Amino acid sequence: MTPFPEDSIPSIHPMFRFQWEDAQDCYVLLYPEGMVKLSPSAGEILKHCDGEKTINDIISDLNELYPDANLDNDVISFIEKAVENGWLKL
């Protein structure tokens, strides 16, 4: 059970800029004091947090991209942590 409705719409907090960083060979979140280097799965989830898709839409999109994996709990868990860390807002 999530602490927020799964029809919530996550977006990157305006304090951060999400981008691919060639030098790091990964997606990162840039902010005034530094950078958060993201794992490949975190980057893939954040690519879908565009401020238009609901959490359910994101889960559905990722399950379609990766049909052999059941990603529901992983996506929800990551979004919970990203909200706690201030990377995402709902």
* pLDDT tens per residue, range 37-68: 999 999 999 999 999 999 999 999 999 999 99
- Of 84, 10, 85, 21, the closest CA to residue 45 belongs to 10
> Is residue 1 very low, low, confident or very high in pLDDT (cuts 50, 70, 90)?
very low
Alpha-carbon distance of 68 to 53, in angstroms, equals 22
* Domain spans of the chain, in order of start: 11-89
pTM, to two decimals: 0.88
More confidently predicted of 2 and 23? 23
Q: How high is the pLDDT of residue 7?
A: 85
* pLDDT exceeds 70 at position 33: yes
CATH topology of domain 11-89: Arc Repressor Mutant, subunit A (1.10.10)
